[in-house]
Amino acid sequence: MKKVFRKELTILSIALLVVSSLMLSLSVLIPNKTVEAAEPSPYRNVMYYGDWSIWGGEDNFYPKDIPADQLTHLNYAFLDFDSSGNLKFTDKDAAVGAPVGQDGVQWNSASAGVLNAIQDIRAKNPNLKIGISIGGWSKSGDFSDVASNPTVRANFVRNITKFIKYTNMDFVDLDWEYPASVREPDKVDNTNDEGTPHAKPEDKQNFITLLQDIRTAIDKQGKDLGKTYELSVALPAAQTTLKNGVDVGQLFKVIDFANVMTYDMNGAWTPNSAHHSALYGNPADPNYASGFSVDQTVKYLQANGAPSSKIVIGAAFYTRGWNKVAPGTNAAQPGLFQAAEKNNKDADLTPTYGANNKNPLKSGDGGRAGGVWAYRNIADLKVKSPDLKEYWDDVAKAPYMYNQKTGEFYTYDNPRSVGYKAEYVKNNQLGGVISWMQSQDKATDTTKRDELTKAIKTGLFGSTNLQANKTVYADLNVKASITPYNENGAGYEITIKNNETTGETGEVLTAVEAAFETVKLPKLYIPVNTAETLTAGDYKAGTVTVDQGNVVVDLSSVYDAQQIPQGASYTFRLKSSAAAVDVNRISSITLTQRIAKTGAELSKQTIYGGGAVNPDPTDTTPPTTPGNLTAVSITESTVALNWSASTDNVKLAGYKVYRDNVLVNTSGETTYTDTNLKANTTYSYSVKAYDAAGNLSADSNSISIKTKESTTPPVTNAWDAAKTYNAGDTVTYQGKTYKAKWWTQGNVPGAEQWGPWELVG
């Protein structure tokens, strides 16, 4: 169950929903601003990060302390919106205002807030994708009205698409809790809770329509930017809620994966103790028939058309608890599935089965007693209740704690249970594990809270590093102009002009547009010319060094140059060792940016085209479209392309080649050879021209090319249980040849019918 919190909140609140008498659970610096992707992994380790994590209630847990090297996806939670489809911050200070522990970042600067900080950690960890979770338990009240109105829905989709561009995100996660489920706001739990009072049966189809519209919009933007966006959703675990509000078969045709919230399946709303995030259902559970377990939910989704590889199951980094539970007659598992007493009270003084939370109850701010303690605080819970003892349910593969003196009962996940979940994912070829939430994990040997996070990662991927993704940043309209000067020697006066202008309205898009279109901590790279040496010509040039064939001008070392806002310019001088200078000696200038002084370099773009011809920011006419795209040569692993030249009204700069709608090459030639392709595989190609001002032409004709079949026998080696294998690797085992279908380690070839190995000879 996921929440929206204010800064004053000190604990994850509880929200109740009773339906049918049951609680329904809810870069390294390289050309073209990219980090090349390896073969996609079959699994995902997905994590939620709540924006309230930076405040005192979560002990000021900043993005820099997220164990990002253990994750594949990081969901920023949450973004709100109104009934007109306009976006709203749930906490503006957290999103774009606070420094969040970033070196050199000031309050309300263009580098402030979690939205910037997570871009920095992704730059340092290219295995990580970042995305926005929209809605959540407390902020799903307007989904029904927005999804049902075509005009409002179009505005909502347009705003989402702009938001992920301005924040350089990789995916959208729609968190509608829940379509077709009416719920009044719970103001005792959260004074800002919207409930879902406008929910209606038509939500079921409107949910699919909304997702289809988002899919279309982000795919189009992704093609324009040369990147691939993902679309995910959060789904309830309760089968009744799924049946009423989700067309499973249609949903999974639109999305890349679904985060199934297989937690909060039991809690203070039920009259007996039970697991809230069990892997398997235990027939001893009075609610067993309701299907409140990971396995039962997965089987329901599979039976209704969900591909296994798109199902991501949930893990809980927090407890749920009952205040007084009978011990029962099973001495080995006392308290489990036993009757509870309503001997405690919520903040509004209504009776409850729930145990006290870590922090005192406050009406409107976590006012429901539900026994909610972060996993990192379980040691504190044991101090408070020293007679708590941990037990293990080997049927459910789930732990719990019970105090036989007081009757307190707590259910949660631990390293053992999440290890079983990871194993379940692999055994059933599922999509991975989603966890709520990062700030609640327990630190091990660093400041990073990573005990459960690392257990999931190790269970899914082993001890090897996660594979890198391709990260693409949209270029800014930033240009450089160069003029010579002769004062106390000769040199170049260089002006960096930020031609971006404010174009958005509304607090969210205005803020993220301004942050995105501000040049932050700029560093310039100028190829070394052997005819001269360049040094700082004034203090405005900051630190000037030579590194790997480039003169590096670090403007971040000058206070006035640390940010160049929309419409602003910055001018500095470089002194030349030559007696006279010629601007043609500077062939290009490349701009990179950082979020924080100790941050990784993010985007990289050319802002000066070279020689005496400077880009014209007033040029808005695109080049003509390249034509007659053909493949002139095809092998097992290469495709050689050729196309006719384009023209431009000012200056043609080059061409962008797309493979399967993803940018793979930028050059000034009308030929390109694509390499390292797979044999006997079909690829689609198209080309766009671009000019010196950055204008793009329309797509050329598109062609589909199939590489030739391999004539080289695969190199095989004897299978080694200790070795890791990637998709396509071949091994021999017991006289047979097998090919890996995905990443694997320790899985015996041929041992599992649906395992990672395919018999090929």
Q: Please count the other Cβ atoms lying within 10 Å of the Cβ belonging to residue 331.
A: 7
How confident is the model over 92-136, as pLDDT tens digits?
999 999 999 999 999 999 999 999 999 999 999 999 999 999 999
Six-digit token pair at 590?
């490349």
pLDDT, tens digit, for every residue of 304-332?
Answer: 999 999 999 999 999 999 999 999 999 99
717-759: CATH topology is Seminal Fluid Protein  PDC-109 (Domain B) (2.10.10)
CB 614 within 8 A of CB 481: yes
Residues of the chain with pLDDT under 50: 1-40, 611-615
Q: What is the pLDDT of residue 518?
A: 98
Strand partners, 570: 496
CATH domain 18-267+297-317+415-461 topology? TIM Barrel (3.20.20)
Amino acid 24: pLDDT:
33
Q: Do domains 478-607 and 627-706 have the same CATH topology?
A: yes
Instruction: Give me the residue label for tokens 């090459």.
Output: 665
Can you give the C-alpha Rg of the chain in angstroms? 28
**Residue 168: per-residue pLDDT:** 97
DSSP code of residue 412: -
Q: Write out pLDDT tens, residues 734-751.
A: 888 888 887 788 888 886
Name which of 555, 690, 699, 682 is nearest 627 in CA terms. Answer: 699
Q: What is the CATH number of domain 478-607?
A: 2.60.40.290
In whole angstroms, what is the distance from residue 286 CA to residue 289 CA?
8
Amino acid identity for residue 243 in this structure: K
For 715, other C-beta atoms within 10 Å of its C-beta total 7
CATH of 627-706, one of 2.60.40.10, 1.20.1250.20, 1.10.3720.10, 3.90.25.10: 2.60.40.10
**pLDDT of res. 756:** 83
Residue 750, C-beta contacts closer than 8 angstroms, at least 6 positions apart: 733, 734, 736, 738, 757, 759
**What's the rounded Cα separation, in Å, for the pair 327 and 273?**
10
DSSP 15-59: ---EETTEE-------GGG-----SPPS-EEEEEEEGGGGSGGGT
Phi-psi region for residue 680, left (φ > 0), alpha (ψ -120 to 50) or beta? left
Residue 714: per-residue pLDDT: 56
Is 452:378 a contact under the CB 8 Å cutoff?
no
pTM (predicted TM-score): 0.79
Write down the pLDDT at residue 33: 34
CB crowding 666-697: b at 16 or more within 10 Å, else e:
beeebebebeebeeeeebebbbbbbbbbbbeb
The answer to whether the beta carbons of residues 520 and 562 sit under 8 Å apart is yes
Query: What is the rounded CA–CA span in Å between residue 611 and residue 587?
Result: 6
Write down the domain spans for the chain: 18-267+297-317+415-461, 478-607, 627-706, 717-759
Task: Considering only the C-alpha atoms of the chain, give the largest distance between any 2 of them, rounded to a whole number of Å.
Answer: 96
Query: CB of 354 within 8 A of CB of 366?
Result: no
- pLDDT for the residue numbered 736: 85
